[in-house]
Structure 1
């Protein structure tokens, strides 16, 4: 069973935490972040290669 780390929102705090996780070796595919803003989700995916969604219930 694979562990998933999920974030509700992808603002500055989430971006910092995600960056730290990825830099420390956490696989980007095991990170999920939700945000209603499509542009914010796109930036997060491009920068960290993590999964995103627009609905908090998915998290």
Structure 2
């Protein structure tokens, strides 16, 4: 069961890498798409929590 598991993991990893970072079609477009979205809320929320937890 170890051999098939490794194969599956490898396949999944390869698929994820291809989907996440497609150098042929899109050079890590997901990062650009996610970058503008998370930074406004999570990034600002994170620094605000440790700095002034009372304000949050």
Which category describes the TM-score, using the shorter chain as reference length? under 0.3
Q: Which structure shows the bigger proportion of residues in helix conformation?
A: 2
Greater Rg by CA: 2
Using the size of structure 1 for normalisation, the TM-score is: 0.26
Using the size of structure 2 for normalisation, the TM-score is: 0.27
1 or 2 for the larger relative contact order (CA 8 Å, sep ≥6)?
A: 1
Q: Which structure shows the bigger proportion of residues in strand conformation?
A: 1
